[in-house]
Each structure stands twice: as structure tokens, then as C-alpha cells.
Chains A and B, each alone.
Chain A
Amino acid sequence: MNAANSSQWLQPAFNDPVLDAQASFRSALKALAEPGLVQPLNRALALENLQPATYALCLAFLDGDTPLWLAPRFDTPAIRANLSFHCGCPIVAERELALFALLDESELHDLAHFNNGSERYPDQSCTLLIQLDSLSGGPTLRWRGPGIKDVRSVELPLPAAFWRQRQARSAFPRGLDAFFAAGEQVIGLPRSTRVLDEISRTEEAA
């Protein structure tokens, strides 16, 4: 696909590029600072099957220095054209090279090969942008860690395989940070958050 043919897919992005990007970035920061709390993220319009919050995260985070890996569901001409045009981010086919990954729920069974940083540069890990249909309705899990006083109950509808994958790729300070976006909302899950999965289940059983 060359540039001459891709312009038909282009859509406007943020209304106010500066303020909307700042507000979206701020929401994303708050989402990571207080894991599990829902933050509003409504500065962008949906782009094909990218929901507003997911697209706003892309517009706020991505630029020419951030290679992006696209899940097959999001690998459409319109999404490619708009991300290349508005963000200028290179789109890579190899997971190892990506600094950001755009995922849907069908990709959560396998987080292999995403870069989880090094001991010396844990910040160079890949950040997962995960679009869900909803941010609630899943099993209640209790999160604990920096940014959470005591524990926080979160009901993300995620397969158990995701938590196993996350555990497998986690060796603090290395690990994967994730944002879960649905509609116009976002929840952050930094690598420092511990998920008290087993405890919650035993208590429910008791």
C-alpha cells in the first residue's frame, strides 16, 4: 500500500491536538498511578474497531520513536493509515521490536516475545494497550501494590491465561505494563501490582 492510496482512509484525530493529547496522557498517567481505578478517556472518536479510549491512548503515546505491534484484528488499512499519519509510528511485525502493542482479548493467551525490559533498562519494556468490550463483569480479583491503599477489587473480564502469562513474563523490575481500554474508559495495570488471585478465590469459597 503506498502513500498515494492510503489518504482515502484518513480521518481527523484529536480536535485540539495539544490539549486533548495532554488530557489523554494525564488520564493514562493517573490510570497507572492508581491501578484498577477507572479513568475517563473520551478525547478521541472511534476509528473503525478502535474504541475512543484505545485510539486516544495511541494518539497520546505513539510517535516516530515507538515501534508498534498490531494484533491481526487491528491490522486494517484504515488503522494503519491513520496511525502512520497522525502518530508517525513504525508498525513492526516482530513482537521483540515493539515498544507498544495493540491487543484485543483474543491475544491475551500468549504474551510471549514482547520485550519485558532488561535489568539495566526495565523502562524499555513493551507496553500493552488492550482493548476489551467492558472493564467489568469478570471474576473479582484483589489488587495490591504501589498506588493502592490496602487492596482494591477489580473485575476485569480477562481469561486466567492472561494472569499466568503476565506472571511468566514478570521478574521485577522487568515486566509488562498494561492499559485496558473499553469505550471511553481506561484502567492501568503496572508491573508492580500484585494480583491476589488465589486468596480471593479461597475467601469466596469459605
Chain B
Amino acid sequence: MSSSAIHSNPQIAARQRWMGVLARAGATLAAYEAVLRDADYRLIRAPEIGMCLVRGRMGGSGNPFNLGEMSVTRCVVRLADGRTGYSYVAGRDKQHAELAALADAHLQGPEQQHWLSRLIEPLAAAQRAQQAAKAAETATTQVEFFTLVRGDD
């Protein structure tokens, strides 16, 4: 979950962070559905499923190659006061995309701190814990290889 490119503009960097947390939230976002939908809003772009090409670089620095395509769902909503929320999430979960876009719109408003502490921080903490648990579980299967140096010096 390392952010490789953190934007120099702190506002944009903060938005990148919460959009990332929302995109990874998946079904856990459904727990906040009632509060997120508790606003007057309309869909500028209804949730729609599409494909997006994933590119990689061998070893992280080689020539780019096309790894394959993945499904992506995107959505744009507009709150009654004119704020626009965007979301791009992996997978085909339209509800996730709509809730993430709503959260993005709420987070751009005057109650940003409220939404950050109520929504983003718990989600981020859960994601960190989940990742740490997975890393710990993986670590138990780690195998160390030792190479015996032949004594031919």
C-alpha cells in the first residue's frame, strides 16, 4: 500500500489518499451507506463497468509491457450544493463505486474533518490491520535458502 507518487500539492495528496482508501474499502463501505446517502444528490455518471489496461515494468524499471485488463467501475455524483464526487474502483461492484463517489463529494465540503475521522481513518486502520495480518501470515511460510560456498579458492 505504498503510494509511489505523492502529489506536491497537499490538497491533491490528501484527496489521493482518501480516494485510495475508499477504492480499497470494498464491501466495508456498505456499513456507512445510510450516512453517505443521507444527502440530496444526483448521478452525473451512473455507476458503469468497464475495462482498463494494466501495464507493468519488468523489475519495476524495464520496458513497459501490457500485463492484462481488469474490470473497473466508475461513478460521478453531484451533491445539491454543487460538489462533485468521483470514484474509480477495481471490480464490478456498482454500489461500492457509488458510495465511494458520495464519500469523495462529502470529503470536499466544510465537514471534511468530520468525514475524515468518522469514515477514512477507521477504514484506513482496518486496511492497515488487514494488511499487517496478511503479511504476518505470509511471513510464517517464508523459506530461507542458504547457498553453500564451494571451497575452491
Contact = CB atoms under 8 A, between A and B. Distances in A.
Nearest to A4: B12
B46 A11 contact: no
The 8 closest A-B pairs by CB, nearest first: A7-B84, A10-B44, A12-B44, A8-B82, A12-B43, A10-B84, A17-B48, A12-B42
B44 A11 contact: yes
Interface of B: 42-46, 48, 76, 78, 82, 84
- Identify which of A12, A13, A85 gathers the most chain B CB atoms within 10 Å of its CB: A12
B48 A10 contact: no
Interface in A62-99: 85-86
Interface residues of A, number: 9
Contacts of B45: 12-13, 85-86
A86 B76 CA distance: 11
Contacts of B78: 10
B105 to A, nearest CB: 10
6 contacts: A8-B82, A12-B42, A12-B46, A13-B45, A17-B48, A85-B45
B44 A8 contact: no
Contacts of B43: 12
Contacts of B46: 12, 17
A12 B48 CA distance: 13
Interface in A7-52: 7-8, 10-13, 17
Nearest to B76: A10
A10 B82 CA distance: 10
A197 to B, nearest CB: 45
